[in-house]
């Protein structure tokens, strides 16, 4: 079943002479439950693509359909609900609220929907990410890798259909990054969550079933990794 | 100018403007204060002898004496056409001493044939400086009796001319005499052969006062005779020579503390603006640091730049402040209708001090933020990770509470700054309330709109008043004479009075002095007495007392005062012997009459004849002067005509030793409103300064706070919070913060009021609340807090306009 379909997607930054084309006419189709790695040189438009799918940035033209709905036509309210319930975004730079403890940072998406936290699931995630004894700390008191893991936990808590991860292992050592990929794979298999993961690390990329390569704002390769 | 520096520009400008205005205000006030004293007492001391002008001049050889001069107490009468003049004499020494005088134009006379005339004469005959006038100098007579040159000028007198003298007008002086006396003031140089009363101005008053014995001896040696050197009581009061050194010290200390307080306040007000400015530079500065710039170099770099960008606004602010203050000074003189409007003096020293203070404030304000910014960690600086770095955070069970409380720190300073600004205004408004209260304390809206007071040596009702009251017989009008008396406490207080604590109020009022009951014996015409239910020769007691004497007359409630007194022994004019009075009856209302019962006083009404007998009986030896009053009510449209008629009639009817004064209701109202206007002008100015500072500071604080929350906003947004929801959340939070600030303001204002209540015996909290200008305060509070809310709203909107990714990424 197709969950994501991208047609003629284009994103330009700036105007006139200074215009930069970050995404240039991309077409893409993703099935439910796929685990995709996105690779490519720096500045090729990987993050931009993820932000567009995650609905935190608006395309210049083209369509992004998720479950058949064109998200670029969403009202701001629908966009907000989409971000809250459908996608979990993990940024290249960790994006936590400095004034909230780790626990509250993780719970945030649920609390925005006034939903109760499923304790078992919460503890499961936290344990898998090795954050159990860090729950009462503030982000400023954690290392970069730990903060990244908190961001991952937050993206998982709502059980979104799509997880968009922008170099989640960029700040981690080999052992830790392997662990993270394992966790993502686990959720991919258990909950049938679709995962799009950006990485510069070949080892990480090779864990994915499908590898998409971006270059100069275009998809230059799209292959199944056996 | 960089647009980003606008808040700095504004707040520095306002700071400089404010201090310029305050300093110049104080400076001109101190000068005016001194001028005021010098207007009444131009000399520091006088000698009790009469000397020739050249003898007086020689006193200046004594080293402590700066100027010595003389004036003559013997005046001349002179006629100029229809007008009667009283000519005064002062010599060159006095001319110099009277640097502050009511001279409107020109100068004092420096020769015998020069003269200064008063404004009314100049206006009446269109005389100007430089004109020559011919005066008939002589004496005024009624029958054989020579009149004093300052006696009221009437057409019943005659004038015997002794000589004609021609004078050149060299100056115009403000009017000196009550216009109904109908004489004009004139001033010239005395002839050499006249003996004058000597006056002295010292080089240093305080030192001269200390060495007064020695100076006196030197003067005696110089003159070769014994003299008394009498220091001016007024100047002694001005210089506070009788006060202990302690008191002077305390007032100096209080002055210094208040200046420091205001400086501190401004530092407080502008500090945040420099902090935001500095933090914006933190990224760049960290780059410097990463290539080897030291913390102290960064610190000085910031300091230097802050001072540099402040220079222009300081100068502009100073210039504007000076212009504004001179405008206000001009306006104030105009409202107070002074004879001669003077421009505010410019003082180079004062301006230098003002600029110095403004710079000092800027440096203090940059001090802490620059230090903190210089110490920002390089990595944090480059990453833009410093806004919320060093705050202490607390954990809460509730997510939203945790978010709210941990963020409070970033905006807390605004809470206090706005509160401080509002408290300053509320303190000023308390002062307005108090002054309003005092001006209303003894003021009662009157149904009569013309009031004539008539001073005479006769005990009979002046015929002219009778004539006027006959002339206006169809109008509401009555004649009365009030005579002060007091009496011992022979009669107990009435039950109601006791219940209302009048005994305690009396105790407090007399503060340890012997308690007396004071009152007015009011004579009215028989007709009015009959209306009150009395007959000729009877005494009616208006036995009422104000329940709470701290309330102003207009709001007073009256209760019964004494317990049925039947006979009273009163001391007329407060002096022995006692006069016995049998009270015929007690009354409360007095119908159409209007006699204000002053706090703790009683009133006894009788007819004018009986009153006259009592006064004469009490005061056989001297002929006491009486003040009669005629109150009238005429149509508002007729006031001016009536006044003209009354002026003419009164003038024609008044004898030389009688004076009268005529006031209409609108004049009283005009006088009352001037004071309030001047005060409101000042508060309005200060309010504006506070409002503007609050805006620039609010702008800085709010931006600082929101910048530090950018990442949070981005997170909330990307986790699926809507913009509207975000705005609502943040505005509610800020609103709660403002309510807290209002709470602080209310608490402190209440505390100030309570303190005043405790410290002052005459002002109660009730009065303070009643007279507090709530409307003004409300408008100000709504304005200041409303502006904050608006700034917050727009700053937030501005941030949310950016793409979400930018928010999360953080510059
Ligand atoms: N806000 C922006 N304004 C202008 N240009 C931008 C903006 N954001 C990204 N770009 C440009 O768009 C292009 C794609 O950027 P993007 O962040 O998607 O690259 P990336 O593939 O994620 O690179 P990296 O591997 O370094 O993270 C780049 O050339 C970048 O300079
Ligand atoms: Mg990227």
Q: Determine whether the shortest distance from the Cβ of A197 to ligand 1 is under 6 A.
A: no
Q: B722-757 in b/e burial notation, b at 16+ Cβ within 10 A?
A: bbeebeebbeebbeebbeebbebbeebbeeebeebb
- To the nearest whole Å, the CA of A225 is away from the closest chain B CA by 31
DSSP string, B358-404: HHHHHHHHHHHHHHHHHTS-HHHHHHT--TTSS------SSHHHHHH
Residue B171 near residue B106, CB atoms below 8 Å? yes
| Residue of A14, A20, A51, A204 best suited for mutating to test ligand 1, as the one with most atoms within 8 Å of CB | A20
As a whole number of angstroms, the distance between CA B233 and CA B245 comes to 18
Helix (H, G, I), strand (E, B) or coil at B556: coil
pLDDT one-digit tens code per residue, B492-522:
888 888 888 888 888 877 777 777 888 999 9
CA A33–ligand 1 middle distance (angstroms): 28
Only one residue has tokens 């197709």, namely A2
Q: Considering chain A, what percentage of its residues have pLDDT values greater than 90?
A: 29
As a whole number of angstroms, the distance between CA A75 and CA A94 comes to 27
Give the ligand at the shortest distance from the Cα of A41.
Answer: 1
Separation in Å, CA B628 to CA A183, B94, B423: 106, 39, 49
As a whole number of angstroms, the distance between CA B410 and CA B412 comes to 6
Residue B669 near residue B461, CB atoms below 8 Å? no
Hey, what are B338's tokens? Answer: 């002074």
Provide the residue count of chain A.
226
Identify the band that residue B674 occupies on the pLDDT scale cut at 50, 70 and 90.
low
Q: B711 and chain A: CB distance < 8 Å anywhere?
A: yes
Contact B388 A99 (CB under 8 A): yes
Q: A146-161 in b/e burial notation, b at 16+ Cβ within 10 A?
A: bbbbbbbbbbbbbebb
Mean pLDDT of B163-190: 86
Only one residue has tokens 């004293």, namely B37
Mean pLDDT of B750-754: 92
Q: What is residue B749's predicted lDDT score, i.e. its pLDDT?
A: 92
Residue B390 in this model has a pLDDT that exceeds 60 = no
Contact B720 A80 (CB under 8 A): yes
As a whole number of angstroms, the distance between CA A146 and CA A142 comes to 6
- To the nearest whole Å, the CA of A224 is away from the closest chain B CA by 31
Contact A98 B402 (CB under 8 A): no
Q: Is B802 left (phi over 0), alpha (psi -120 to 50) or beta?
A: beta
Asked if the A2-96+161-224 domain carries CATH number 3.40.50.300, the reply is yes
As a whole number of angstroms, the distance between CA B415 and CA A201 comes to 50
Chain centroid to CA B393: 50
pLDDT one-digit tens code per residue, B242-295:
777 777 788 888 888 888 888 888 888 788 788 878 877 777 777 777 677 777
Torsion angles phi and psi, residue A37, rounded to 5: -105, 135
Residue B315 in this model has a pLDDT that exceeds 90 = yes
Q: B715 and chain A: CB distance < 8 Å anywhere?
A: yes
Contact B393 A104 (CB under 8 A): no
pLDDT one-digit tens code per residue, B123-158:
989 999 999 999 999 999 888 888 888 888 877 888
The residue of chain A with its CA nearest to that of B729 is A112
Torsion angle of C-alpha atoms B486, B491, B497, B499, degrees rounded to 10: 140
Helix axes B282-290, B348-374, angle to 10 degrees: 60
B707 class by beta-carbon count within 10 Å (0-12 exposed, 13-18 middle, 19+ buried): buried
pLDDT one-digit tens code per residue, A5-55:
999 999 988 877 888 889 999 999 999 999 999 999 998 999 899 989 988
Q: Considering chain B, what percentage of its residues have pLDDT values greater than 70?
A: 94
Q: Determine whether the shortest distance from the Cβ of A161 to ligand 1 is under 6 A.
A: no
Q: Where are the alpha helices (DSSP H) in B225-244?
A: 233-239
As a whole number of angstroms, the distance between CA A148 and CA B383 comes to 17
DSSP string, B86-108: EEEEE-HHHHHHTTSSSEEEE--
A199 class by beta-carbon count within 10 Å (0-12 exposed, 13-18 middle, 19+ buried): buried
pLDDT one-digit tens code per residue, B60-106:
888 888 999 998 888 899 999 888 999 999 998 999 898 888 888 89
**Helix, strand, coil share of chain B (percent; to 5):** 55, 20, 25
Residue A67 in this model has a pLDDT that exceeds 90 = no
Instruction: Report the candidate in B23, B31, B34, B15 with the shortest Cα–Cα distance to residue B322.
Output: B23
Residue B169 in this model has a pLDDT that exceeds 90 = yes
Mode of pairing for the β-strands spanning B197-202 and B65-80:
antiparallel
Mode of pairing for the β-strands spanning B585-587 and B476-487:
unpaired
What residue segments make up the domains of chain B, in order of their start?
3-26+250-438+675-808, 66-203, 450-633
pTM: 0.67
Residue B59 in this model has a pLDDT that exceeds 70 = yes
Q: Considering chain B, what percentage of its residues have pLDDT values greater than 90?
A: 16
ipTM of the complex: 0.80
Q: What is residue A34's predicted lDDT score, i.e. its pLDDT?
A: 92
pLDDT one-digit tens code per residue, B184-234:
889 999 888 888 999 999 999 988 998 889 999 988 988 888 888 889 888
Mode of pairing for the β-strands spanning B450-456 and B476-487:
unpaired
Q: What is residue B735's predicted lDDT score, i.e. its pLDDT?
A: 92
| Residue of A40, A48, A92, A167 best suited for mutating to test ligand 1, as the one with most atoms within 8 Å of CB | A48
Q: A81 and chain B: CB distance < 8 Å anywhere?
A: yes
Contact B712 A98 (CB under 8 A): yes
Ligand 1 atom 28 nearest Cα:
A43
Averaged confidence pLDDT in chain B = 84
As a whole number of angstroms, the distance between CA A165 and CA A88 comes to 8
Q: Determine whether the shortest distance from the Cβ of A47 to ligand 1 is under 6 A.
A: yes
Q: How many CB atoms lie within 10 A of CB A130?
A: 14
The residue of chain A with its CA nearest to that of B719 is A84
- Helices (runs of H) and strands (runs of E) counted in chain B: 25, 23
Residues from chain A contacting residue B393 (CB–CB below 8 Å): 98-99, 138
Torsion angle of C-alpha atoms B166, B170, B172, B178, degrees rounded to 10: -40
Residue B811 in this model has a pLDDT that exceeds 50 = no
As a whole number of angstroms, the distance between CA B338 and CA B444 comes to 27
- Which region among B49-53, B300-304, B391-395 has the lowest average model confidence (pLDDT)? B391-395
| Residue of A39, A45, A204 best suited for mutating to test ligand 1, as the one with most atoms within 8 Å of CB | A45
More confident residue, B203 or B391: B203
CA A43–ligand 1 middle distance (angstroms): 5
- Which region among A143-157, B106-120, B369-383, B432-446 has the lowest average model confidence (pLDDT)? B369-383
Helix (H, G, I), strand (E, B) or coil at B793: helix
Q: Per mean pLDDT, which of A130-139, B659-668, B760-769 is the most reliable?
A: A130-139
Q: What is residue A80's predicted lDDT score, i.e. its pLDDT?
A: 83
Q: A86 and chain B: CB distance < 8 Å anywhere?
A: no
Instruction: Report the candidate in A65, A60, A81 with the shortest Cα–Cα distance to residue A9.
Output: A60
Residue A160 near residue A86, CB atoms below 8 Å? yes
Q: How many CB atoms lie within 10 A of CB B805?
A: 17
Cβ-Cβ contacts under 8 Å for B720 (sequence gap 6 or more): A80, A81, A82, A83, A84, A85, A109, A112, A113
Residue B570 near residue B620, CB atoms below 8 Å? no
Mean pLDDT of B574-601: 85
Identify the band that residue B381 occupies on the pLDDT scale cut at 50, 70 and 90.
low
Separation in Å, CA B737 to CA B341, B704, B789, B792, B795: 49, 16, 10, 12, 16
As a whole number of angstroms, the distance between CA B19 and CA B617 comes to 64
Mode of pairing for the β-strands spanning B450-456 and B65-80:
unpaired
Ligand 1 atom 6 nearest Cα:
A13
Q: Determine whether the shortest distance from the Cβ of A46 to ligand 1 is under 6 A.
A: yes
Residue B590 near residue B447, CB atoms below 8 Å? no
H or E stretch including B510? helix B502-510
Residues from chain B contacting residue A100 (CB–CB below 8 Å): 399, 402-403, 406
As a whole number of angstroms, the distance between CA B361 and CA B18 comes to 12
Q: A7 and chain B: CB distance < 8 Å anywhere?
A: no
């Amino acid at each position: 079943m197709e969950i994501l379909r991208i047609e003629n997607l284009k994103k330009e930054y700036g105007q006139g002479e200074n215009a930069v084309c970050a995404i240039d006419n991309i077409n893409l189709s993703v099935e439910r439950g796929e685990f995709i790695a996105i690779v490519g040189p720096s500045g090729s438009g990987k993050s931009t693509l993820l932000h567009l799918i995650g609905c935190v940035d608006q395309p210049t033209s083209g369509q992004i359909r998720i479950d058949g709905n064109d998200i670029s036509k969403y009202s701001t309210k629908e966009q907000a609900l989409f971000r809250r319930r459908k996608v979990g975004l993990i940024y290249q730079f960790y994006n936590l609220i400095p004034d909230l403890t780790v626990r509250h940072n993780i719970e945030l998406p649920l609390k925005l929907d006034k939903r109760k936290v499923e304790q078992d699931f919460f503890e499961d995630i936290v344990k898998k990410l090795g954050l159990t004894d860090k729950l009462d700390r503030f982000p400023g008191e954690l290392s970069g890798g730990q903060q990244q893991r908190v961001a991952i936990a937050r993206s998982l808590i709502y059980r979104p259909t799509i997880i968009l991860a922008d170099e989640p292992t960029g700040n981690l050592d080999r052992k830790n990054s392997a662990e993270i990929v394992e966790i993502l794979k686990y959720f991919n298999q258990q909950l049938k969550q679709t995962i799009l993961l950006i990485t510069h690390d070949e080892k990480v990329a090779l864990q994915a079933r499908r590898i998409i390569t971006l270059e100069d704002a275009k998809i230059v390769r799209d292959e199944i990794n056996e | 100018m960089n647009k980003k520096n606008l808040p700095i520009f504004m707040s520095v400008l306002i700071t400089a403007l404010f201090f310029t205005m305050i300093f110049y205000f104080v400076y001109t006030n101190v000068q005016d204060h001194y001028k005021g004293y010098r207007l009444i007492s131009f000399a520091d001391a006088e000698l009790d002898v009469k000397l020739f002008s050249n003898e007086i001049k020689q006193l200046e050889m004594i080293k402590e004496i700066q100027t010595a001069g003389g004036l003559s107490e013997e005046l001349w009468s002179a006629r100029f056409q229809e007008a009667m003049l009283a000519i005064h004499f002062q010599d060159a020494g006095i001319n110099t001493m009277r640097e502050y005088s009511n001279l409107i134009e020109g100068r004092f006379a420096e020769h015998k044939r020069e003269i200064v005339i008063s404004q009314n004469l100049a206006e009446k005959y269109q005389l100007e400086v430089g004109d020559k006038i011919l005066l008939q100098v002589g004496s005024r007579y009624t029958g054989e009796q020579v009149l004093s040159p300052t006696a009221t000028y009437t057409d019943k007198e005659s004038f015997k001319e002794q000589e004609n003298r021609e004078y050149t007008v060299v100056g115009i002086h403000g009017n000196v005499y009550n216009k109904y006396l109908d004489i004009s003031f004139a001033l010239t140089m005395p002839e050499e052969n006249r003996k004058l009363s000597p006056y002295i101005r010292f080089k240093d008053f305080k030192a001269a006062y200390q060495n007064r014995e020695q100076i006196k001896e030197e003067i005696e040696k110089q003159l070769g005779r014994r003299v008394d050197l009498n220091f001016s009581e007024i100047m002694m009061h001005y210089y506070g020579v009788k006060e202990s050194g302690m008191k002077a010290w305390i007032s100096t200390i209080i002055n210094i503390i208040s200046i420091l307080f205001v400086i501190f306040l401004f530092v407080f007000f502008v500090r945040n603006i420099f902090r935001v400015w500095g933090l914006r530079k933190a990224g760049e500065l960290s780059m410097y640091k990463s290539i080897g710039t030291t913390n102290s170099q960064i610190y000085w770099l910031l300091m230097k730049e802050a001072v540099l960008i402040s220079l222009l606004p300081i100068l502009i602010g100073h210039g504007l402040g000076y212009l504004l203050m001179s405008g206000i000074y001009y306006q104030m003189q105009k409202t107070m209708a002074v004879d001669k409007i003077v421009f505010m003096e410019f003082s180079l020293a004062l301006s230098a001090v003002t600029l110095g203070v403004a710079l000092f404030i800027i440096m203090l304000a940059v001090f802490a933020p620059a230090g903190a910014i210089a110490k920002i960690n390089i990595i944090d600086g480059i990453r833009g990770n410093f806004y919320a770095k060093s705050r202490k955070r607390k954990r809460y069970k509730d997510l939203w509470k945790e978010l709210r409380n941990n963020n409070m720190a970033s905006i807390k300073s605004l809470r206090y700054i706005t509160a401080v600004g509002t408290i300053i205004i509320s303190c000023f408004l308390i002062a307005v309330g108090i002054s309003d209260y005092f001006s209303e304390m003894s003021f009662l809206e009157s149904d009569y709109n013309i009031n004539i007071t008539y001073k005479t040596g006769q005990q009979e009702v002046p015929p002219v008043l009778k004539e006027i009251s006959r002339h206006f017989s169809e109008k509401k009008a009555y004649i009365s004479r009030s005579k002060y008396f007091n009496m011992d406490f022979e009669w107990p207080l009435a039950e109601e009075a006791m219940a209302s604590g009048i005994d305690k109020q009396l105790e407090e009022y007399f503060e340890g002095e012997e308690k007396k009951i004071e009152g007015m014996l009011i004579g009215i015409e028989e007709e009015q007495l009959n209306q009150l239910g009395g007959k000729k020769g009877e005494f009616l007691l208006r036995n009422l007392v104000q329940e709470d004497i701290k309330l102003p007359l207009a709001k007073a409630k009256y209760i019964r005062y004494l317990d049925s007194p039947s006979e009273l022994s009163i001391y007329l004019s407060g002096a022995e012997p006692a006069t016995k009075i049998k009270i015929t009856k007690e009354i409360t209302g007095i119908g159409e009459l209007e006699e204000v019962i002053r706090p703790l006083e009683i009133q006894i009404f009788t007819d004018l004849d009986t009153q006259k007998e009592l006064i004469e009986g009490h005061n056989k030896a001297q002929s006491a002067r009486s003040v009669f009053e005629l109150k009238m009510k005429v149509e508002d449209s007729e006031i001016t005509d009536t006044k003209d008629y009354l002026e003419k009639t009164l003038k024609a009817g008044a004898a030389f030793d009688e004076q009268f004064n005529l006031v209409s209701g609108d004049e009283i109202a005009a006088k009352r409103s001037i004071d309030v206007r001047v005060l409101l002008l000042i508060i309005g100015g200060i309010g504006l300064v506070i409002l503007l500072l609050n805006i620039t500071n609010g702008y800085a604080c709010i931006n600082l706070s929101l910048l530090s929350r950018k990442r949070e906003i981005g997170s909330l947004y990307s986790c699926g919070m809507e913009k509207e929801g975000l705005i609502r959340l943040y505005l509610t939070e800020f609103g709660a913060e403002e309510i807290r600030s209002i709470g602080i303001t209310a608490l402190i204002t209440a505390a100030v009021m309570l303190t005043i209540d405790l410290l002052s015996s005459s002002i109660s909290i009730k009065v303070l609340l009643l007279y507090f200008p709530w409307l003004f305060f409300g408008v100000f509070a709504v304005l200041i807090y409303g502006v904050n809310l608006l700034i917050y709203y727009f700053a937030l909107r501005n941030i949310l306009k950016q793409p979400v990714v930018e928010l999360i990424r953080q510059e």
